[in-house]
Structure 1
Amino acid sequence: MIYIYNCYGGTHSSALAAAYHLKKLPFGRKPTKDEILNTDAFNQLSPKEMGKLVFHGLDEEGSKVYTIGRGSSKAVIPAMLGILEMFEKNGTLNDRVIFSNTSPTVPVAMTFGGLFSRRLKIDFIGVPLLVLGAQQSYQNVIKLVERTKNHAKMTSSLIEVLDNGFTD
């Protein structure tokens, strides 16, 4: 199984989802500032890296966990889906793939934090907003990860795209 969490920049909500999926962040409490800022890829990717798959690790079942930033493109996920469908038709797709959109979990603080920090390079404003947003959204991110993992167990499809209640 391959999980690909995706959001606008690939460096905030999707990075948090990957960390929760891999049990690198706590489930029973709000994460601390240090835990958030030390999350793999959190607030580290530049806008130029949108569209790049970032590997985060293997989960307890041996499934691969990735993230990707879509940017403002509505074509990234459909293009990846098209390639995977081609492999599926050729019989060369060896893993099931779940795309899970983490954008519905993003609060306003995280949106503006990402804008200030990644786009405008004003970290003294952006980073505190990102931490606040990550702390505000942690329960929603955990629920999204749990729904994603449960969906993966229930589906027989080789490829799934979960919009999670959000449409671009």
Structure 2
Amino acid sequence: MIFIYHDFGGTHTTSMAAAYHLKKLPYNRRLHKDEVLNIKYFNKITKHDAGKLIFHGKDDKDNLVYTLGRRKNKYVSKSLEELATLLQKEFNLEEKVIISNTSPTVPIIMTIGGFLAKGIHMNSLGTPLLVFGAKQCCFQIKDLVLYTKKMSRSIDKGVVVLNNKQFK
């Protein structure tokens, strides 16, 4: 299976989701500042990386885990769905593809922190807000990852798109 977590920038909640998916973060408690800052790719992806699939690793079942920053393009997940369906149909790709949106988990404080840190390069103000936001939404992201994994097992389709609006 291939898991793709996506949102606007592809660097905060998506990186957290990938880390939870790969069991690199604790599931049973709120994250600490150092844990947030040490998440691979957290606050390191730039707007120039938009549209790139970033590989995070293989999970304990040998599934591939990627993240994607889609920027303002709301059609990216639809394009991924269409491409995966085409590859399955025309080239006998047998891998199930799960496309999961992490945007609903983003708290406003993280949006502000991301704008300050990434948008106008004020890391000294933006990074603490990002860490605060990450600590605030970590349980939602963990739940989103668990839900994504559950849906990957229960939906019998080659490509599964999860908008995850219930996590708002």
TM-score (norm 1): 0.96
Q: Counterparts of 1:115-126 in structure 2 under 5 Å?
A: 115-126=115-126
CA distance in 2, matches of 1:23, 1:61: 12
Aligned partner letter, 2:102: T
Match of 1:138 in 2: 138
Structure 1 runs of 4+ with >4 Å offset: none
Q: How far did 1:38 drift?
A: 0.7
Q: Does 1:157 align with 2:152?
A: no
Match of 1:73 in 2: 73
Report sequence identity in percent: 43
Q: How far did 1:110 drift?
A: 0.6
Q: Does 1:104 align with 2:98?
A: no
Q: Could you list the runs of 5+ residues in structure 2 that have no partner in the other structure?
A: none
Q: How far did 1:62 drift?
A: 0.6
Aligned partner letter, 2:136: Q
Q: How far did 1:88 drift?
A: 1.9
Match of 2:32 in 1: 32
Aligned partner letter, 2:156: S
Q: How far did 1:91 drift?
A: 4.1
Q: How far did 1:102 drift?
A: 0.3
CA distance in 2, matches of 1:80, 1:143: 23
Aligned partner letter, 1:26: P
State the SS of the aligned residue for 1:45.
coil
CA distance in 1, matches of 2:93, 2:60: 22
Aligned partner letter, 2:139: Q
